[in-house]
Chain A
């Protein structure tokens, strides 16, 4: 069964600290993997998209990694800011037009 699992479910860190969010998937065949940021009360916004051949991709303070062999991805946030408080969702594209969404990690940045 195609699934995307994210951990932790929620995370609280202090402003300025780094953190890493995890995404494990069982989607096959694999086409690409995206990380979205969803602010409370807003729609998801794409942060990165990674294909099979990409291991690392950065977008400002966000760095995503992908290990297609172990079917794992991570999103590393450097020097966190209060505005990083949001849910981060991992989405994997499977066959045809299928997108498999994870439940997200709720990140809270405290001053």
Chain B
């Protein structure tokens, strides 16, 4: 069984649209994350959630909003998409809060904004 899954794997959309990326983990972890990997391959953390509570919110535009219906899911909603949002978005989870715990990553969602 897949530990951390994301849907869709590919997403192509036009500027100005609103889209969501879903993430689910079946590891029973307390903390989930969203990362953005840009064209230069750097991964930058966007959000993390611990038991439905936002604990890190890096300087991302407020067009991006994480939504966690339960501990196993952390979805990413993006409003008014821009060309610069094109990237690969990774969901991850860890057993508990804190970067000492290993993070398990999903397969990524490649978002292309045209």
Interfacial residues, chain A to chain B (CB-CB below 8 A): 31-32, 41-46, 49, 87, 89, 93, 97-99, 101-104
A7 to B97, CA, bound (A): 31
Q: Specify which of B43, B55, B98, B102 is in contact with A101 (CB 8 Å cutoff).
A: B43
Closest residue to B97 on the A side, CB-wise? A97
Q: Is B66 an interface residue (CB 8 A)?
A: no
With an 8 Å Cβ cutoff, the count of chain B residues facing the other chain is 22
Residues of B within 8 A of A97 (CB): 48, 55-56, 97-99
A32-B100 contact in complex given A43-B4, A89-B43, C-beta closer than 8 Å: yes
Of residues 41 to 71 in B, which have CB atoms within 8 Å of A's CB atoms? 41-45, 48, 55-56
Known contacts A93-B100, A97-B98, A101-B43; A43/B90 CB under 8 A:
yes
Q: A87 contacts which of B41, B55, B105 (Cβ < 8 Å)? A: B41
A97-B56, A98-B99 given as contacts; is B107 within 8 A of A42 (CB)?
A: yes
**How many angstroms from the CA of A103 to the CA of B92 in the assembled complex?**
18
User: Chain B residues near A98 (CB, 8 Å)?
Assistant: 99
Q: How far is the CA of A104 from the CA of B37 in the complex (A)?
A: 12
Q: Mark B23-52, 1 if CB is under 8 A from A, else 0.
A: 000000000000000001111110010000
Closest to A36 in B: B105
Q: CB within 8 A of B42: which of A43, A45, A49, A103?
A: A103
